[in-house]
Amino acid sequence: MQKIEILIVGTNKPIMETIARLIDKEEKWLATIAYTVEEALALCRLKDFSLVLICAGLSKDEENQLSLSLKQLKADLPFVKHYGGGSGLLYAEIYQGLALQ
């Protein structure tokens, strides 16, 4: 079974690790963490992600830079903002983003 690869981008290491664990609990999902916009873009050049989840810690300028760069790099790659909250909201955001494919 091929897993759905999800890139999560944010700066708060403990929160990012928690989000990755929640994603990885789902049998068909696999999380990869990027702590900077540059790292996220480098990873997108190397791997085919199904979704980019923008998490806490990025400035508005960094979020804009990431979204513009992703549109240029992989126009069909959906990205959504994660607003926090429980795992139910996280999963809903991921399912919403995956539906954009």
Helix (H) or strand (E) holding 87: helix 87-98
Residue 77 CA to residue 70 CA, distance in Å, equals: 7
The Cα 25–Cα 31 span in angstroms is 10
| CATH numeric code, 4-98 | 3.40.50.2300
pLDDT of residue 100: 65
Which of the four pLDDT bands, split at 50, 70 and 90, describes residue 1? confident
Quote the CA–CA distance of 75 and 68 in Å, as a whole number. Answer: 9
* pLDDT digits 0-9 by tens, 18-76: 999 999 999 999 999 999 999 999 999 999 999 999 998 999 999 999 999 999 998 88
